[in-house]
Structure 1
Amino acid sequence: MRAVLVALAALSLGGCGAREDLAPAPGQSLPVKPTAARATPSPEQLLEPAPQTRPARSGDLIESSKERRSDEFDLPPPN
């Protein structure tokens, strides 16, 4: 029974994707043109994340490592 419910949930979630181009709601228009823009951006351009919102990862690889110096305050707990 549980497997059937999981399969139905997976199938129903798989059909949620939008297959049409994005457009404003009926009776609505796109947002106003930004001050510095030459033209009003399209919905696809508005949904594209700016580089500042998705920065490149810089901490993935360790290219060089150094031996840590000893820490004289790293003592075992008292008994």
Structure 2
Amino acid sequence: MIRLLLIPVALLALSACGSRGRLEPAPGKTLPVAPYGAQERPNADELLTSTSQQRPVRSDELLTTSEERPNDPFALPPR
């Protein structure tokens, strides 16, 4: 009996987790003030969009041709 009741309750709880809607500030609250030097206050979507400084792109240089390393005079053997 408990199992039969547990399944609908679990499904109801999971369905409430995935609600998607437009983000709005809480009632009585406003969005943060405009950044210094900005002409206007950014909206919620602009605040949630990451900039390239916040999410840098990987810049892995793939070795396309094998080249011999030049001699390094400072690469001394361990003592």
Compute the TM-score of the two structures, normalised by the length of structure 2: 0.58
1:28-47 pair list within 5 angstroms: 28-47=29-48
Distance 1:41 1:72, change over 3 A: closer
Distance 1:63 1:36, change over 3 A: farther
- 1:23-67 superposed Cα distances (whole Å, 9 cap, x missing partner): 111111100111211111000000111111111111163333334
User: Quick one: distance in 2 between partners of 1:39 and 1:25?
Assistant: 20
Identity of matched residues, %: 39
User: Quick one: distance in 2 between partners of 1:43 and 1:61?
Assistant: 38
Read off the aligned partner of 1:57 and give its amino acid letter.
R
Read off the aligned partner of 1:66 and give its amino acid letter.
E
- The CA RMSD over aligned residues, in Å, is 3.3
Deviating beyond 4 angstroms after TM superposition, the runs of 4 or more aligned structure 1 residues are 71-74
Stretches of structure 2 lacking an aligned partner (at least 5 in a row):
1-9
Read off the aligned partner of 1:32 and give its amino acid letter.
V
Distance 1:36 1:63, change over 3 A: farther
Stretches of structure 1 lacking an aligned partner (at least 5 in a row):
1-7, 75-79
Compute the TM-score of the two structures, normalised by the length of structure 1: 0.58
Partner of 1:21: 22
